[in-house]
Amino acid sequence: MNMRQFSRLDEAIMHLDNVLSGFSNMRPPNAKREYPAESLRDSDLSSNEKKHASGLMRVNHAGEIAAQALYKAQSVLVKDDELKKTMQQSADQEFDHLDWCERRLEELGEDVSYLTPVWYLGSFGIGIVAGSFGDKWNLGFIAETEHQVVSHLETHIKELPLGDNRSRAILEQMQADEQHHADEAETSGAKKLPLGVKKLMRFASKIMTKTAYHI
């Protein structure tokens, strides 16, 4: 019996269908690595500090949802098998980040962004577009995305309430991972994106950041 060979477009459509079917129970799989805040005592934060920390962690959770979508979409179109494997390893680490952010939000008594499906679907579409230009440009998009995320995490680490060491430990580990992903993409031959594309990515990121902080 002949097995049907699925095209990359078929794979993308099937993945998107699975995601749409599972949004009602979109709990990330358990992290493979230890929770960075495991050994740290939770501080007594004021209501305003807790609200601000929750907003920041909700933004980071939304960012990890977007990262999952980007990696999934781009890996569908990547041609090099080794590159596909590397991207899957990076996506696995992003799952850790997703789990850590959601766990911290639960500790703070807050919910993830209600616009999670929007962040995923929008980023999946962007990933498909980026991946269609070939592996080198695909890698360039990943590298630039990760560099922007590293900068964004640095800002959040500084903005966290001084006593919120648990959130800070999570973001610091995430920042180290994202820098590693950017370095891997550049080592693999990423092309530098045009300045206009970088600015457009920053603009889109600002929209998501400002919205996810509140909703």
Tens-digit pLDDT string for the chain (215 aa): 444 554 554 555 554 555 444 444 455 556 778 899 888 888 889 999 999 999 999 999 998 888 888 878 877 777 777 777 777 777 777 888 999 999 999 999 999 998 888 888 888 888 888 777 777 887 888 888 889 999 999 999 999 999 899 999 999 999 999 999 889 888 888 888 888 888 888 888 888 888 999 98
pLDDT of residue 29: 59
**What CATH class has 44-214?**
mainly alpha
Burial 89-128 (b: 16+ CB within 10 A, else e): ebbebbbbbbbbbbbbbebbebebbeebebbbebbbebbb
Is-contact 145 134, C-beta < 8 A? Answer: no
pLDDT of residue 2: 47
